[in-house]
């Protein structure tokens, strides 16, 4: 890559990072191209030259963000650690991801742009074999009922994590949020049943 190409890539990355910060802090609608350009230290014309529109820039930001998250999760799952350690790291990473992203930013596109829906499907397809490997480790270490299929456990993972993380994202940071996070880990394994009759 020559010097011009390197400068071009650095500028493109500066724009992406600035847009990601602003979109995640305030959502898609509230952010202007002028604000992104100012934060990135580039002209508005440069943004249009690289991406064509604010919508296309947002799609690029989401694509890159999901690729980063996928790498984080696959690194956790592929690490030589006990299942419970991996689960807590994965759970914490999900909470962190939901905490740092403005949900309007994602919701705006999921509901209206088929390109984003395709990105999400592609992300899930790439994650699938790693989730299967993760579930197998949980079986081997005795954390899951072996009568349950991988498909059922994967459905439970997805259902539990998506609902739980959305609720956690709405809570202010602090000791209460940490306590709820720990309790959710317990609910994930043991459910909510008390000492009532069998």
With a CB cutoff of 8 Å and minimum separation 6, the contacts of 50 are: 11, 12, 15, 57
Q: What is the pLDDT of residues 34-56, one digit of tens each?
A: 999 999 999 999 999 999 999 89
Statement: residue 194 has pLDDT above 60: no
Statement: residue 79 has pLDDT above 80: yes
Distance, CA of 109 to CA of 55 (rounded, Å): 9
pLDDT bin (cut points 50, 70, 90) of residue 118 is confident
Closest C-alpha to 18, from 38, 2, 40: 40
pLDDT bin (cut points 50, 70, 90) of residue 78 is very high
Closest C-alpha to 39, from 51, 22, 62, 56: 22
Across residues 142-158, what is the average pLDDT? Answer: 80
More confident residue, 87 or 37: 37
Q: Do 60 and 50 meet the contact criterion of CB atoms below 8 Å apart?
A: no
Domains in the chain with CATH codes: 1-52 (1.10.10.60), 59-190 (1.10.357)
Q: What's the confidence (pLDDT) of residue 51?
A: 93
Distance, CA of 51 to CA of 106 (rounded, Å): 19
DSSP 198: -
3-state DSSP helix/strand/coil % of the chain, to nearest 5: 80, 0, 20
More confident residue, 52 or 172: 52
Alpha helices in 27-149 (DSSP H): 33-40, 44-51, 54-78, 83-100, 103-110, 114-140
pLDDT bin (cut points 50, 70, 90) of residue 174 is low
25: helix, coil or strand? helix
* Overall size of the chain counted in residues: 198
Phi, psi of 81 (to 5 degrees): -120, 160
With a CB cutoff of 8 Å and minimum separation 6, the contacts of 62 are: 106, 109, 116, 119
Across residues 167-175, what is the average pLDDT? Answer: 64
Statement: residue 192 has pLDDT above 60: no
């Amino acid at each position: 890559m020559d010097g011009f190409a390197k400068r071009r890539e650095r500028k493109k990355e500066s724009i992406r990072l600035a847009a990601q910060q602003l979109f995640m802090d305030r959502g898609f609608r509230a952010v202007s191209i002028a604000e992104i350009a100012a934060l990135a230290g580039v002209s508005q014309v440069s943004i249009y030259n690289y991406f064509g529109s604010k919508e296309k820039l947002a799609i690029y930001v989401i694509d890159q963000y999901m690729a980063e998250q996928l790498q984080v999760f696959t690194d956790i799952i592929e690490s030589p650690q006990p299942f419970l350690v991996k689960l807590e790291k994965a759970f914490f990473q999900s909470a962190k991801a939901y905490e740092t992203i403005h949900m309007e930013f994602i919701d705006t596109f999921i509901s209206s742009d088929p390109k984003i829906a395709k990105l999400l499907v592609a992300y899930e397809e790439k994650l699938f074999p790693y989730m299967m490997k993760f579930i197998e480790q949980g079986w081997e270490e005795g954390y899951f009922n072996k009568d349950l299929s991988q498909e059922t456990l994967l459905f439970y993972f997805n259902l539990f994590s998506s609902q739980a993380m959305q609720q956690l994202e709405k809570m202010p940071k602090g000791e209460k949020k940490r306590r709820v996070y720990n309790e959710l880990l317990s609910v994930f394994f043991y459910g909510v049943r008390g000492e009532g009759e069998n």
